[in-house]
Amino acid sequence: MNTSIAIIGAGLGGLTLARVLHVHGIAATVYEAEASASARPQGGMLDMHEHDGQAALRAAGLYDAFRAIIQTGGDASRVFDKDGRLLFEDGGSDGLRPEVPRAALRAILLDSLPAGTVQWGHKLTGATALGGGRHRLAFDNGASVSADLVVGADGAWSRVRPLLSPDKPAYTGTTFVETFVRNADVLQPASAEAVGPGGLFALAPRQGISAHREPDGVLHAYVALRKPLDWIAGIDFSDRDAATARVAGEFDGWAAPLRTLITGGDAAPVARPIHALPNGHRWERIAGVTLLGDAAHLMPPSGDGANLAMFDGAQLAEAIAAHGDDIEAALAAYERELFPRSAAAADDAYSVFDACYGDDAPHSLVDFLKSVAPAA
Ligand SMILES: Cc1cc2nc3c(=O)[nH]c(=O)nc-3n(C[C@H](O)[C@H](O)[C@H](O)COP(=O)(O)OP(=O)(O)OC[C@H]3O[C@@H](n4cnc5c(N)ncnc54)[C@H](O)[C@@H]3O)c2cc1C
């Protein structure tokens, strides 16, 4: 193949694209803003779904490597109300939705690529159309390259997206505050017991805590608050104690093992305002450029975004392999399936998000989980 392919972003989506292209004998270069693979903690557990994330890993020839990093029992889940009453429990099976650490998954993808595929420390700052579908890419380190195909796999705040679409992510009205409780079985045993081997949702109308057990006894929680951005901006998150007290103040009266997921850590909480692109985000075909993952369809977290990004990457690679140097045919085929797939996923994401953090929580989530539970 004579086409030069530049993938912007070494997240799970961009790396899956590069890997599946490599499986098909097609070279690509991934340009990543961060300085190295370890520049930022990747954190978090991801459940890999059979129909998208796992399918992508099969296409990447990495299914066995993925099975080796599954956290046993990690897919168990519980739903509590604010008083600590257990409303729903699913013991999990590690079958359909096994949980893996995001960092380990990313490492498998990185290790599967030829040396030099990822160019670290290359933050895209601009892209100029050269005609004929080619683009000139400029990076913050002064480098520039041209490519026949540019794939924006650069996440929520994509610098590639403006080539295709004027849309920008908008605040959803919900902010997650991220907390960690380390050595929890020893230091916060009641919280560790509540979380169990997998994860919990502790919910009340319009607020909640979702927490997951990570390797080495770490409890990683997202504290969800439906608040305007200026309320969040009014908290000084660099002041650990003050920020923790302000967030925990919203959970006064909650059962102690749940509230301790906010107060029992030793690190400053981190605010993560949740943004989303318009539902059904799409664009007209423009030669030589496309998007995948969050860059294409940022949606509220519902446990599927990373899976979707990986599936997009695998699908795009398969389309390129099938169409050879006819890149426009490959992109048209990829986008024909991408748009309806991501619109349906966004609808699902809003339903799950509302079940978790809407006016009827926690019962809305319990009803949802019962409706999707496999028949006994
Ligand atoms: C709080 C939270 C919890 C979540 N939990 C889950 C979950 O349990 N399961 C799940 O499936 N999904 C989950 N998601 C969603 C998931 O994290 C994303 O959908 C997924 O990471 C998207 O992958 P991506 O490859 O498209 O983008 P990203 O993972 O964002 O990767 C983009 C990459 O591009 C790089 N980059 C950005 N700008 C530039 C630039 N200008 N130049 C070069 N490189 C650049 C970034 O450094 C990054 O490495 C969650 C999201 C949030 C916010």
Q: Give residue 289's pLDDT band: very low, low, confident or very high (50, 70, 90).
A: very high
pLDDT at 376: 55
Yes or no: say if 186 and 43 are a contact pair by the CB < 8 Å rule: no
Mean pLDDT value of segment 332-345? 98
The per-residue pLDDT of the chain, averaged, comes to 95
pLDDT at 108: 98
Indicate the helix (H) or strand (E) that contains 130: strand 124-131
- How far away, in angstroms, is 157 Cα from ligand 1 center? 10
Q: 300 CB contacts (<8 Å, ≥6 apart)?
A: 172, 174, 274, 276, 349, 350, 353
Mean pLDDT value of segment 182-194? 96
Mean pLDDT value of segment 252-261? 98
Q: 151 CB contacts (<8 Å, ≥6 apart)?
A: 5, 6, 7, 8, 14, 17, 160, 289, 290, 291, 292, 316
The CB of 121 under 6 Å from ligand 1? The reply is no
The CB of 11 under 6 Å from ligand 1? The reply is yes
Q: By percentage, how much of the chain surpasses pLDDT 90?
A: 89
- How far away, in angstroms, is 298 Cα from ligand 1 center? 9
The CB of 98 under 6 Å from ligand 1? The reply is no
Q: What is the pLDDT of residues 23-80, one digit of tens each?
A: 999 999 999 999 999 888 777 889 999 999 999 999 999 999 999 999 888 889 999 9
Yes or no: say if 96 and 7 are a contact pair by the CB < 8 Å rule: no
pLDDT at 373: 76
Residue 95 clears pLDDT 70, i.e. is over it = no
Q: How is residue 88 written in tokens?
A: 């729903």
Closest ligand 1 atom, residue 160 Cα: 41
The CB of 151 under 6 Å from ligand 1? The reply is no
Closest ligand 1 atom, residue 45 Cα: 8
Mean pLDDT value of segment 254-283? 96
Ligand 1 binding pocket mutation candidate from 30, 48, 144, 294 (most atoms within 8 A of CB): 294
Ligand 1 binding pocket mutation candidate from 144, 154, 174, 200 (most atoms within 8 A of CB): 154
The CB of 139 under 6 Å from ligand 1? The reply is no
Ligand 1 binding pocket mutation candidate from 46, 109, 272, 297 (most atoms within 8 A of CB): 46
Q: What is the pLDDT of residues 100-155, one digit of tens each?
A: 999 999 999 999 999 999 999 999 999 999 999 999 999 999 999 999 999 999 99
pLDDT at 91: 83
State the Cα angle at 310 between 44 and 57, rounded to 5°: 95
The CB of 176 under 6 Å from ligand 1? The reply is yes
Q: Give residue 287's pLDDT band: very low, low, confident or very high (50, 70, 90).
A: very high
Residue 179 clears pLDDT 70, i.e. is over it = yes
- How far away, in angstroms, is 14 Cα from ligand 1 center? 10
The CB of 109 under 6 Å from ligand 1? The reply is no
Q: How is residue 357 written in tokens?
A: 């953090």
pLDDT at 74: 87
Nearest residue (CA) to ligand 1, atom 2: 301
Mean pLDDT value of segment 248-254? 97
- How far away, in angstroms, is 83 Cα from ligand 1 center? 33
Closest ligand 1 atom, residue 14 Cα: 25
Mean pLDDT value of segment 238-245? 96
Q: 10 Å Cβ neighbour count for 270?
A: 13
Mean pLDDT value of segment 199-221? 95
Residue 83 clears pLDDT 90, i.e. is over it = yes
Residue 88 clears pLDDT 70, i.e. is over it = yes
Closest ligand 1 atom, residue 49 Cα: 11
- How far away, in angstroms, is 86 Cα from ligand 1 center? 32
Residue 12 clears pLDDT 70, i.e. is over it = yes
Nearest residue (CA) to ligand 1, atom 20: 306
Q: Which residue segments constitute the domains of the chain, with CATH numbers given?
A: 5-74+97-168+278-354 (3.50.50.60), 170-276 (3.30.9.30)
Residue 277 clears pLDDT 70, i.e. is over it = yes
Mean pLDDT value of segment 269-296? 97
- pLDDT, greater one: 1 or 298: 298
pLDDT at 375: 63
pLDDT at 267: 87
Nearest residue (CA) to ligand 1, atom 27: 155
The CB of 99 under 6 Å from ligand 1? The reply is no
First CA to last CA distance, the chain: 50
- How far away, in angstroms, is 306 Cα from ligand 1 center? 7
pLDDT at 374: 67
The CB of 198 under 6 Å from ligand 1? The reply is no
The CB of 311 under 6 Å from ligand 1? The reply is no
Yes or no: say if 200 and 211 are a contact pair by the CB < 8 Å rule: yes
